[in-house]
Amino acid sequence: MSFLTLYRAATILLLVFCTGHTLGGMLLQSSRGPEADAVFESMKSVKFNFNGATCTWYNFWFGFGIEASINQLLSAVIAWQLDKVPPEQWDVVKGLAWALVAAQLASTVLSWTYFFAGPGVLSTVVMTLLWAGAWQKQKQLPLPLPRKEKL
């Protein structure tokens, strides 16, 4: 078995995505020009009550952004673990594998719809690797044993 399987390649890209999103998108925020900076400052300074809590749009943006990073990290862990599943046990986890593909497909659509080419391309590649990994594992399933007929 080679080191770089489909699931391991997806894992590596998910970790790159998570790191880039967390550092570049969330933690190391830089100026995007005076107009964008003014909007960003308003997101931080305008407070409102939401379900009994004092909130800002910045808090929502930051919290959901970090949550997205955590989900990318979780997806990387799941992909790595799916790679370890032997063919004879694939039936037990195939629902999880295809759910991960579906979640990544949704993420890919959102990336192309609301963001820019970087996350769109990366999401597309990750989704394709996850799909191909699940398909490959599915094809390796052992044939079912014939049933013995009762006389």
Q: Is the pLDDT of residue 142 over 90?
A: no
Q: Does 76 map to a domain?
A: yes
Q: Is the pLDDT of residue 127 over 70?
A: yes
Six-digit token pair at 69? 């990073």
**What is the number of domains present in the chain?**
1
Q: What is the pLDDT of residue 144?
A: 63
Over residues 23-52, the pLDDT tens digits come to: 998 998 888 899 999 999 999 999 999 999
Residue bearing tokens 């300074």: 45
Q: Mean per-residue pLDDT for 105-112?
A: 97
Q: Does 17 map to a domain?
A: yes
| φ, ψ (nearest 5 deg) of residue 54 | -85, 120
Q: Does 120 map to a domain?
A: yes
Q: What is the pLDDT of residue 151?
A: 62
Beta strands in the chain (DSSP E): 47-50, 53-56
Q: Is the pLDDT of residue 82 over 90?
A: yes
> Which domain covers residue 97, as residue numbers?
6-28+70-139
> What pTM, to 2 d.p., does this model score?
0.86
Band of pLDDT at residue 86, cut at 50, 70 and 90 = very high
